Every structure is written in C-alpha cells, then in structure tokens.
Amino acid sequence: MKGNNVIFNLIGAITCFILFVIGMLFSEQIALLILIGIIGLSGFSYFTFRVVLSMLKSKTTD
C-alpha cells in the first residue's frame, strides 16, 4: 500500500508542477492563471514534502 501512496504523491506532484508551468507561461493572456500557478506551486511543494516524509519514515523504521 505504501508503494501506491508514493506513486499517487508523485502523480500529484507532477500534475501540480504542470499547472504551475501552464500558469506561468500563459499568465499574460489570462490573469486567473496566476492563481492557478500559485496553487500548482503550493501543491507541488506539498506532494514533494509527502514523498520525502514517507521516504524518511520508511528509512527510520528499517
């Protein structure tokens, strides 16, 4: 189950990073995309934190 959790977190991080990139590339045309970019960056940070935390927990339980 933990392997699936890491995969879901990585998929979430990649999705949020794509949102961030889209938000930053096209924010000049649509101002709402600035907000999407901020949400994407925050989500990327959150999912990356979860992946690192799960790796740290698995390292300390061994």
DSSP-based three-state secondary structure for 26: coil
Query: Structure pTM?
Result: 0.84
10 Å CB burial of residue 20 (0-12, 13-18, 19+) is: buried
- What tens digit of pLDDT does each residue of 5-55 get? 888 999 999 999 999 999 999 999 998 999 999 999 999 999 999 999 988
Confidence band for 3, pLDDT divided at 50, 70 and 90: low
The predicted structure's pLDDT at residue 62: 60
Total domains in the chain come to: 1
Task: Please give the residue range of the domain that contains residue 15.
Answer: 2-61
The predicted structure's pLDDT at residue 2: 63
